Amino acid sequence: MRVLAGETLSPPPLWLMRQAGRYLPEYREVRREAGSFLDLCYNPDLATEVTLQPIRRYGFDAAILFSDILVIPDALERGVYFEEGHGPRMTPIDVDGISGLDPSRGPAHLAPAIEAVMKIRANLPTETTLLGFCGAPWTVATYMIAGHGTPDQAPARLFAYREPKAFMRLLDILADMSADYLVSQLDAGADAVQIFDSWAGVLGEVEFEQYATRPVRRMIDSIRARRPGARIIAFAKGAGTLLRSYRQDTTADAIGLDWSVPLDFARELQREGPVQGNLDPMRVVAGGTALNEGIDRILDQLGHGPLIFNLGHGITPQADPETVAALVARVRGVAA
């Protein structure tokens, strides 16, 4: 929270995207107990347990609510389910489907996640930040339109070109529902929130402004109008040089950086405020020299400004828990 307010700390605070997940044996045990992935997300006790697991194991400086970005379309009755080995699936939406969306189901449907936030906060060490989160409207819309993930999100891009009014209406609905959801998380005990735009990198310059920046700014304006002190991290994966104006245009407190962002460019961005990132998750899988060199370069280049150390995307299931422990020790300057 101090870094989000603009302070520089050494060592920097540390957490990892997807730090509660399949690389941990204790997570896999709870996942088997839960049944389906969504059942795990919607069970406040189990979601609390898996959120706390990496805090107990590693003592990260932040915990992040265990949930999924697709709980919003699930609340909109899009038939979300997760297919083993293939990821999320849902009923694709068309123009008529957009006109029939009913956002009023959101609060009741998402109540288990809000209950989980309260339970996590009650069981989290007082010095550990609790992060809430949601998906950004563009990324969530890509799944809703295709019904699943695609390599370049061509279905959503084509839909946006062919049906611009309907598409902008969809983004506005998602932005407003997501803002309400994040306000509820903040009220339930989250200290800050992160907005994940995992598919921002497929957009051109004009489309990035319309489909990524504008909806996130709409969300942040809505959140801050109701909770003026809210701290917000915006992560637009793959945005590259478009990040130059992203913080200013969205008014996010910090911007997340994926591993493809050059560190000299990251330093430029850091002059405007806090950055978060940006270790390649594959360095965690590789371990050893590759991991150490990646960590050291980030700390050398970005450690003299406001930095939250993190990965450039989520940790992968192939990561060894002992390698993650070595990462934590190196960032903190403790002998592994």
pLDDT averages per 10-residue partition of the chain, 336 residues: 98 98 97 94 98 98 97 96 86 96 95 98 97 98 95 96 98 98 98 98 98 98 98 98 97 98 98 97 98 98 98 97 98 76
Catalytic residue (one of 23, 143, 181, 246) = 143
Asked if residues 262 and 283 have their Cβ atoms less than 8 Å apart, the reply is no
Place of tokens 């405020």: 273
Active-site residue, 22 included = yes
DSSP 272-311: TS-EEEEE-HHHHHH-HHHHHHHHHHHHHHHTTSSEEEEE
221: β partners: none
Which pTM value belongs to this model? 0.97
CATH domain 25-332 topology? TIM Barrel (3.20.20)
Annotation says 143 is catalytic: yes
Residue with tokens 């999924």: 68
Distance CA 101, CA 78 (A): 9
- pLDDT in the model for residue 336: 46
Tell me the C-alpha distance between 267 and 104, whole Å.
43
Scan for tokens 């403790």, then name that residue.
Answer: 334
Complete DSSP assignment for 233-246:
EEEETT-GGGGGTH
Kindly name the residue from 23, 27, 31, 330 that is annotated as catalytic: 31
DSSP letters spanning 61-124: SEEE----TTHHHHHTT---EEETTTEEE-----HHHHHT--GGGHHHHTHHHHHHHHHHHHHS
pLDDT score for 239: 98
pLDDT the model gives residue 184: 98
pLDDT recorded at residue 86: 75
Antiparallel, parallel or unpaired: β 129-135 and 231-236 = unpaired
Of these residues, 61, 68, 180, 253, which one is catalytic?
Answer: 68
Query: What are the extents of the domains in the chain?
Result: 25-332
Q: Residue 83: its pLDDT value, please?
A: 82
What's the pLDDT score for residue 286?
98
